[in-house]
Structure 1
Amino acid sequence: MRHLKFAPSWLRFLTIFLLTMGILFRFSNLDGKVFWHDEIYASLRTSGYTINEAKQQLFNNRVIGKESFAQFQGVNPEKSLNDTIMSLAKQDPQHPPLYYIIARLWMEIFGNSVTAIRSLSACISLLVFPCVYWLCRELFNVPLSVPGVAIALMAISPIHLVYAQEAQEYILWLVTILLSSASLLRAIRLEDELAEERQKPDLFAIWSLYAVTLAISLYTFLWSAFVAVAHGIYVITAAKFQFNETVRTYLIASLVAFLAFMPWITVVIGEFFQFLISADKTTIQSELIPIFPFLLMQLSRIFFDIDLSSENSLGYVIALAFLTLVAYSIYFICRATNYKVWSFIITLIVVPALPLILPNLIAGSIRASIEPYLIPSYLGIQIAVAYLLATQLYNESGARRSFWYIIMTLVIICGLISSKVSFQAETWWNKGINYSSPQVAQIINQSNRPLLIGDALGNNYGNIFSLSYLLEPKVRFLLVNQKIPKIPDGFTDVFLLNPSDTWGKTIEKKYKLKTDIVYSDRYYSILKLAKARNVRRRNISSNNKLSANL
């Protein structure tokens, strides 16, 4: 460890360079990627409207323009901050209100544009770097080597770039995890150093800081409860399973944090029972994928990500290479450090991930939408790899040192390439339901005077809002609620968005038109209405499969 206390000058310059590049990537092309389903719902909650209110005003069989959607995607004079909180409490309590309160205040200052909304996350992501420095200092007790490498890796990590450019709470959650973890380690260290002197004021201050940061983390994301469990397991392990003063103080601090979170817990519990007795249990489902390939790809995306599809064999080769690196990093940190160091890393990686993985092992598949819940595991893995690389820079063997220099260089190159590809792309794997929105928008924008018709079933609400950011002002929308639309004249092309088989056939019969499928995938089915003499009749019975999700 004493060798790690002095970082070579080249490592300092490298850290500064990569940190600068990471900041530039975070603030570049913020409005370039698809504004997708989850961001749309986050903006709806921030605006203070409920989804029912939005549907009542938009899906009413009237022709509207894209400007009509703006009211439900940002701050407006009709709704207050209290409406933002109540919207979450009524329809989305699994998302605590802290991020949405901050986002509303932010948009009141900087506006409702995509760049303004996403710039909040980009700014919050800058707090990750001092926080990870503090955490590594407390964990390893070295001033720069390990913290410097950890900052460098996180600055160019593609998974962090994804969340730093998302209008959601996940990057704020990462900051709160870092703060609560670092303050916990600081409190434990002070307990050990002041065991005899028992300087109560210092200990009270740092334990109070832990309670406050844990409460903030809980008000940011509910999964912080499992991070708290990981902290508890670590404290008990560090105390060698003895109920000492440290364990007692930790339990008191955690209890204070959870009591502070109690008002929102009651909201969550109330909504859960309301869901059980409600007749309407329809939910929007994300894609199910095999669990082990999913975990392998997510591990790879910590270091290298150019949006390779799950069918691309190259992605699995790269993922296996990084799996080897991560596995050796965990083995090395367990062998080279004492149990108070490696047990923290292991609990941070394993405990928050187990509730996600274990229930899905029997089924063999997992929902792709749960990947943000693995942020604590990403953090633990990156710290372990940073420790390995920083340690090997001082290896006594010249050959081994050269080998690890090459590994570190490759990891950095992978991160830089990934970040460059990611910030320039118009869509990415995390966009899920709306991954293909740019392709759909391109098809519709090619028409001279297009009309897009859709209802509010299934994923359509999010799809329509996502498309509204990409479609040109000439496009008009005719949104209906379980009704056959009255199609007005004056449009050169009419498109149907995800029509059910019955709905599509009824429209075809009423207007004596035929439907031509112009685009289809898992989440989008775009049909174009045309006169029979202008288009060859196609068999639209396949719409049963295309509309299975509606």
Structure 2
Amino acid sequence: MASRAASATSLRGATEVKVRKQFRLVGKRYPTWLKLLLLTSLLLGLCFRFVNLDRKLYWHDEALTSLRVFGYTQTELVQQAFNGQVVEVATLQKYQHPSPDKGWGDTLTALAGNAEHPPLYYLLARLWSDGFGSSVAAMRSLPVVISLFAFPCIYWLCLELFESSLTAAIACALIAIAPFHVIYAQEAREYSLWAVTVLFSSASFLRALRLQTKQAWGLYAIAVSLSLYTHALAGLVPIAHGVYLLATQRDRLFKTFKSFALAAIAGLATFLPWIILVVQNWAQVHAATEGVRRAQTLHTIIGKWFINLNRVFVDIELGSANIIFVLLAAVVFYWLCHHTAQRIWLFIVSLIVVTAFPLVIADLILQSRYSTNLRYLTPCYIAIELAVAYYLATHLRSRQLRQHKVARTALVTLVAAGSLSCLISSQSEVWWHKSIQKTGFYPEFSRIVDRTTNPLIISDSSNAIDVLSLSHSLDSKVHLQLLPATVVPQVPGQFSDVFLFSASIPLRENLEKTQNFQAQPLSKTRNVFHLTKLPASLRK
């Protein structure tokens, strides 16, 4: 028995020595399997960001982006395009491309009229279009390129926070194939830029704490300004930094907090003109953000919290199994708070609590939708990714064979699951973040229309941006009859097929009553119909 025990102990010791040799961190040398895994993640993340850019539906919010970027307002679109005339698709598409009559001043005017979105991304998009065009692929390539800056930013942040190149490398690999980052990198909106500014401002904040120089705090002030001009909720991030500073800088609190406050105030001061604009247009801003204040049940809110955490790493609906990622996150944070230095775990916890808690409280009290919008919690989910990366890196360095194996298996599983999720979504024309219940039928509807010989689509101004979005998917032969509100058209008779798209119910009922059309629904969830003339024998 003694010889068996000695043999087992010797074998276990030899195995642990083998593991330590397999994972040498001396000179920052990593084992071959890890190098290949990290490199594969980065290459796949790069490919997934660029694949099928022009194949995916250019949905409502993206169409609205192009409208504003090129200096048009929604009011202008309705007044000029929805006048009852029959027009070609190209006539409507002009509102999605630059015009000699619309300069940078018009772009600023259009953005000022929609002050709920700060202007930095939209101005960059206007500049980008001057050099690369205004096609769907060109407009989406800007957020893709911006998203690539997240890699050096998160690497820098990990070096400042964890002082670990391994953690930095794993964090880069995770965000490279994280479905959350990939899908928003392919959308012509500001969310990939916001992720970059969150990382950049956080890294520059920690650097300023370390160096305590005017130049370092000046860089942080610039980062705060860029972040504020990117997203309306960006102000929560410097508040999280302030909470962290107050909790960790007790020995030199006054001097450090003074420098931080001056930098934060300087960044805020540059944003003051836009704040004034928001106040002046508050009624419009309040109306434009009505969607996030629509009531939903507590059960729905909690369910979306679970699935959103799942979507950060694995964008596959797991039903009730979504709780698995919640439990795993709880394990990571329990370990983080009990086995790491305060300066590490407190930064991550501060970023999560300060940026998520106000939205969560608002939803629990008002039953609104702030915290259930994945993109609104970008700073929170970045902090979770940082925690996971540090957990994996620490356990990969462990001399305990079990911890090492668990961490290696978890890292490989996350990379594989994220890659599979991105592969699936890359082949889909419409994914969940494009309000799939509302827009999921658009690609199929456009194919139905395109199969007809000489089609006409009728719609009215009640959903003008939806029509603008659909126009990107239609063949040039399609004609549109776009109507002002409450106007019933005289439908021309030269078209082979007539369709009613996203129009008001009164318009459909009037067409059926006054012009003897029968409306055949093409979708159970959307207001889309094929209109056919009733035979004379069936007319009332």
TM-score, scaled to structure 1: 0.88
Q: Of residues 282, 286, 291 in structure 2, which corresponds to 1:285? A: 291
Conservation of the 8 A alpha-carbon contact between 1:297 and 1:316: no
Conservation of the 8 A alpha-carbon contact between 1:288 and 1:368: no
Q: Of residues 210, 215, 218 in structure 2, which corresponds to 1:208? A: 218
Aligned to 1:342: 345
Shift of 1:33: 1.1
Q: Of residues 154, 158, 173 in structure 1, which corresponds to 2:175? A: 154
Aligned to 2:78: 55
Shift of 1:68: 1.5
Shift of 1:435: 2.8
Runs of 4+ displaced beyond 6 Å: 2-5, 534-537
Shift of 1:533: 3.4
Aligned to 1:197: none
Aligned to 1:502: 506
For residues 289 and 262 of structure 2, the distance between their equivalents in structure 1, rounded to whole angstroms, comes to: 38
Aligned to 1:244: 254
Conservation of the 8 A alpha-carbon contact between 1:516 and 1:535: no
Counterpart AA for 2:480: F
Q: Does 1:113 align with 2:135?
A: yes
Conservation of the 8 A alpha-carbon contact between 2:454 and 2:497: yes
Shift of 1:89: 0.7
SS of corresponding position for 1:351? helix
SS of corresponding position for 1:528? strand
Aligned to 1:198: none
Instruction: Give the RMSD, CA atoms, in angstroms.
Output: 2.2
- The C-alpha deviation readout for 1:374-403, integer Å capped at 9, x for no partner, is 100110000000001111112222123212
Counterpart AA for 1:456: S
- The C-alpha deviation readout for 1:332-378, integer Å capped at 9, x for no partner, is 22122211111110111121112221111145563688321110011
For residues 339 and 4 of structure 1, the distance between their equivalents in structure 2, rounded to whole angstroms, comes to: 26
Q: Of residues 171, 187, 194 in structure 2, which corresponds to 1:173? A: 194
For residues 216 and 447 of structure 1, the distance between their equivalents in structure 2, rounded to whole angstroms, comes to: 49
Q: Does 1:37 align with 2:60?
A: yes
For residues 45 and 354 of structure 2, the distance between their equivalents in structure 1, rounded to whole angstroms, comes to: 29
Distance of aligned partners of 1:535 and 1:414 in 2 relative to their CA distance in 1, 3 Å threshold? farther
Paired residues for 1:371-382 under 5 Å: 371-382=374-385
Shift of 1:223: 0.8
Paired residues for 1:88-487 under 5 Å: 88-90=111-113, 92-142=114-164, 144-191=165-212, 203-240=213-250, 243-272=253-282, 281=287, 285=291, 290-306=300-316, 308=317, 314-317=318-321, 319-364=322-367, 366=369, 370-432=373-435, 433-457=438-462, 460-482=463-485, 483-487=487-491
Counterpart AA for 1:497: F
Counterpart AA for 1:528: H
For residues 458 and 426 of structure 2, the distance between their equivalents in structure 1, rounded to whole angstroms, comes to: 32
For residues 32 and 4 of structure 1, the distance between their equivalents in structure 2, rounded to whole angstroms, comes to: 46
Shift of 1:534: 9.5
Conservation of the 8 A alpha-carbon contact between 2:466 and 2:502: no
Distance of aligned partners of 1:131 and 1:324 in 2 relative to their CA distance in 1, 3 Å threshold? same
Aligned residues: percent identity? Answer: 38
Distance of aligned partners of 1:5 and 1:153 in 2 relative to their CA distance in 1, 3 Å threshold? farther
Counterpart AA for 1:48: G
SS of corresponding position for 1:205? helix
Counterpart AA for 2:328: L
Shift of 1:485: 1.1
For residues 403 and 140 of structure 1, the distance between their equivalents in structure 2, rounded to whole angstroms, comes to: 21
Shift of 1:31: 1.0
Shift of 1:470: 1.3
Aligned to 1:200: none
Counterpart AA for 1:214: V
Conservation of the 8 A alpha-carbon contact between 1:208 and 1:253: yes
Aligned to 2:493: 489
Aligned to 1:81: 104
- The C-alpha deviation readout for 1:452-486, integer Å capped at 9, x for no partner, is 111111xx212211211112222211000021112
Aligned to 1:541: none
- The C-alpha deviation readout for 1:505-525, integer Å capped at 9, x for no partner, is 22222212222222231xx21
Query: What residue ranges of structure 2 are gaps of 5+ in the alignment?
Result: 1-23
Shift of 1:25: 1.0
For residues 343 and 63 of structure 1, the distance between their equivalents in structure 2, rounded to whole angstroms, comes to: 61
Shift of 1:436: 2.5
- The C-alpha deviation readout for 1:218-247, integer Å capped at 9, x for no partner, is 111121111121111111111249742111
- The C-alpha deviation readout for 1:39-73, integer Å capped at 9, x for no partner, is 11111110111111111121011111111122211
For residues 416 and 534 of structure 1, the distance between their equivalents in structure 2, rounded to whole angstroms, comes to: 58
For residues 349 and 368 of structure 1, the distance between their equivalents in structure 2, rounded to whole angstroms, comes to: 12
For residues 283 and 185 of structure 1, the distance between their equivalents in structure 2, rounded to whole angstroms, comes to: 34
SS of corresponding position for 1:350? helix
Distance of aligned partners of 1:226 and 1:357 in 2 relative to their CA distance in 1, 3 Å threshold? same
Aligned to 1:531: 533
SS of corresponding position for 1:508? helix
SS of corresponding position for 1:224? coil
For residues 122 and 535 of structure 1, the distance between their equivalents in structure 2, rounded to whole angstroms, comes to: 58
For residues 251 and 489 of structure 2, the distance between their equivalents in structure 1, rounded to whole angstroms, comes to: 68
Moved more, 501-510 or 488-497: 501-510
Query: What residue ranges of structure 1 are gaps of 5+ in the alignment?
Result: 192-202, 309-313, 538-550
For residues 155 and 290 of structure 2, the distance between their equivalents in structure 1, rounded to whole angstroms, comes to: 39
Aligned residues: 508
- The C-alpha deviation readout for 1:205-227, integer Å capped at 9, x for no partner, is 10000001110111111211111
Distance of aligned partners of 1:303 and 1:536 in 2 relative to their CA distance in 1, 3 Å threshold? farther
Distance of aligned partners of 1:54 and 1:368 in 2 relative to their CA distance in 1, 3 Å threshold? farther
SS of corresponding position for 1:49? coil
Aligned to 1:542: none
Conservation of the 8 A alpha-carbon contact between 2:396 and 2:403: no
For residues 218 and 181 of structure 2, the distance between their equivalents in structure 1, rounded to whole angstroms, comes to: 29
- The C-alpha deviation readout for 1:174-229, integer Å capped at 9, x for no partner, is 111111110100111123xxxxxxxxxxx011000000111011111121111121
For residues 12 and 40 of structure 1, the distance between their equivalents in structure 2, rounded to whole angstroms, comes to: 41
Shift of 1:439: 2.4
SS of corresponding position for 2:476? coil
Shift of 1:536: 9.1
- The C-alpha deviation readout for 1:489-518, integer Å capped at 9, x for no partner, is 211111112343332222222212222222
